[in-house]
Structure 1
Amino acid sequence: MEDVIYSASFKNAIRYAKENELFLGSGNPNGKLLLVGKEAAIDMQKSEQQYVNEFKKNVTDWESNCSNGTQPDAIDHWFTEDRFPTYNPLYPYKGQKNTVESRNANGEIKRGHGGTSKTWHNYQKIIDTVYFNGTPSEHITFHEYAFCSELNQVTANYSHQIAKDIRAASIFKRRALFQMPFFSDFPITIVAVGHYVRDFEIDLQDFFGLTYDAESSRKYSEGLKNEYINMHYDNFEDPKRLLIHTNQLSMVSNELVQRLGVICRAFLLASTL
């Protein structure tokens, strides 16, 4: 992995997020992919420390990373036995196994100890397809290649636990953040939020400045059942930026995830020719 460069556009995004009390995101700000989800599945009361680490301290941690020029190899491995690791949004939970960790109602791990969520597991499948020809990585490494954020920054275990008007207000407030130059620097943006676009009347063309392509959307969605891949480009003739709107990735088919990876790989390869 190349050294992370903390660009002026990223620092401006940090500044804006701080001034407006907004969550910015995690991962590599120089990555080729931007992954946008609905909201983080964190219970703010039952998982208070996780919420503080991932959201309350997000901007100040990025400020510290910029000041110190922090690089991924300096981030703590999360699964250390000799000391408690320090969370860092540049490489969250570094060392997670590339498997799904599931828990029972009491929070006890049933299977996949040391693994991750279904959503992050599918993020990793996309990255493995794009960069490693589909060979599964041993650990969760997608933060080395992508930057991740959320459409809504109010968190809960499940979307329905957040009142719709609260979600709507949060999404509206974050619109200007996503329109900043930093978020336009990514060649590929995947907005994996499902019907949030319909339910909250989100104009992705306005949010991200790209145009919907009905023909390629039909092409790439063909054969999928209750799933879709909506394609948007900055230029139909010679595209330099791609936005994909698709289902939320916690409960989707392997076929959908594989197609996303193949599309992204082909787009990046074409853009380097």
Structure 2
Amino acid sequence: MYKKDFIEFVEKGIDNFYIGTGNPNSKILIIGKESAIETTDLQSFEWYGNNAKDWKNHIENGTCEVLEYQVDEKHPLRKSWGKNTWSKYQKLSDYILEKETENFKVDFLNHIFTSEINDSPSKTTSKADKTNISGRKKILKASEFIQKFPVILLACSNYITNSENNREINDIFEVEYIGDEIGTKFYSAGNWYFLHYNKDKTKLVIHTRQLSTNVNNELLKDLAEIIRKHLNQ
């Protein structure tokens, strides 16, 4: 049920780092900024801290996380649905699969795995502890599990860069930016993407903004088309 590279990633993560959530056997990995958890939400912090151990239990028992559910009126995501990251991931997933969006339903986890580039949960980016992001990047770079995804969406804005003086994305994911002519598009302030591929074009890494609040819907549609074409080639 679970591949060797994922099992090894989980083993290393126990009491050390966050693994992620979703389907680890999927072809799409989304890496966000950090998990949006209030400092007072002790239950969510406990869930986050036990993430690797929970995955180990799933591996040993041949089980999996809940990958599909309704966001009912009592669900913590309900109030901000349509603006929060989970709802934007769902919208992107629906565009990729070319299916109608169902109100207040999560099922994107069936074919997407998600993780974070910052291993310090925070409800807001401004208050997030960013001191260990560089260490987290080293973990992602060294992980065979992470590197094997044919599509990696870096939805973490300025938490990672690929400037002329600091080719982080190239270095971490062993890809190269394909150039301004076909490799980027700007929609409006704060809405953009950059495309990177490995040498044989089997791996696509997209750098874009955090998918929440006022993310441009045309950006989501274009990202979906790019991802779908890559997976169908």
The bucket for the TM-score relative to the shorter chain is 0.7 to 0.9
Aligned residue among 5, 9, 18 for 1:9: 5
Partner of 2:209: 247
Aligned partner of 2:50 in structure 1 is: 57
Match of 1:257 in 2: 220
**Is the alpha carbon distance of 1:137 and 1:187 closer, same or farther for their aligned partners in structure 2, counting shifts above 3 Å?**
farther
- 1:231 is the counterpart of 2:191: no
Query: What is the match of residue 204 of structure 1?
Result: 169
**Structure 1 residues 47 and 41, CA gap change in structure 2 (3 angstroms):** same
Other-structure match for 1:185: 148
Q: Contact 1:13–1:177 at 8 Å: present in 2 too?
A: no
Counterpart CA distance in 2 for 1:27 and 1:117 is: 20
Sequence identity of aligned pairs in percent? 28
Unaligned runs of 5+ in 1: 72-89, 104-108
Task: Report the counterpart of residue 120 of structure 1 in structure 2.
Answer: 86
Structure 2 CA distance, aligned partners of 1:98 and 1:239?
41
Point out the structure with max Rg over C-alpha. 1
- 1:172 corresponds, among 120, 125, 134, to 134
Note closer, same or farther for the CA distance 1:15–1:116 as it changes in structure 2 (3 Å cut).
farther
Per the normalisation by structure 2, the TM-score is 0.87
SS at match of 1:228: strand
Please state if 1:95 is matched with 2:69. yes
Q: Is the 8 A contact 2:161 2:169 kept in 1?
A: no
2: CA distance between counterparts of 1:161 and 1:136? 33
Q: What amino acid maps onto 1:62 in structure 2? A: W
Separation in structure 1 between the aligned mates of residue 89 and residue 43 of structure 2, nearest angstrom = 24
Give the unaligned 5+ runs of structure 2: none
Q: Distance in 2 between matches of 1:181 and 1:190?
A: 17
Which deviations, in whole Å up to 9, do the C-alpha atoms of 1:44-85 show, x marking residues without a partner? 3x11101111x11101100000000104xxxxxxxxxxxxxx
**Distance verdict in 2 for CA 1:98–1:196, change over 3 Å:** farther
Aligned residue pairs total 225
Confirm or deny that 1:39 pairs with 2:34: yes
Contact 2:152 2:204 in 1 (8 A): yes
Letter in 2 for 1:154: S
Match of 2:17 in 1: 22
The aligned runs of 1:74-153 (5 Å cut-off) are 90-91=65-66, 94-97=68-71, 111=79, 118-131=84-97, 133-138=98-103, 139-153=105-119
1:11: Cα distance to partner? Answer: 0.8
Summarize the Cα distance change of 1:242–1:198 in structure 2 as closer, same or farther, 3 Å threshold. Answer: closer
Using the TM superposition, give the Cα deviation of residue 136 of structure 1 relative to its aligned residue in structure 2, in angstroms: 1.2
Tell me if 1:267 matches 2:233: no
Once superposed, what is the RMSD of the aligned Cα atoms? 2.6
Residue-by-residue CA offset, 1:18-40 (whole Å, 9 max, x unaligned): 26x11111110001100000001
C-alpha spacing 1:98/1:264, structure 2 compared with 1 (3 Å): farther
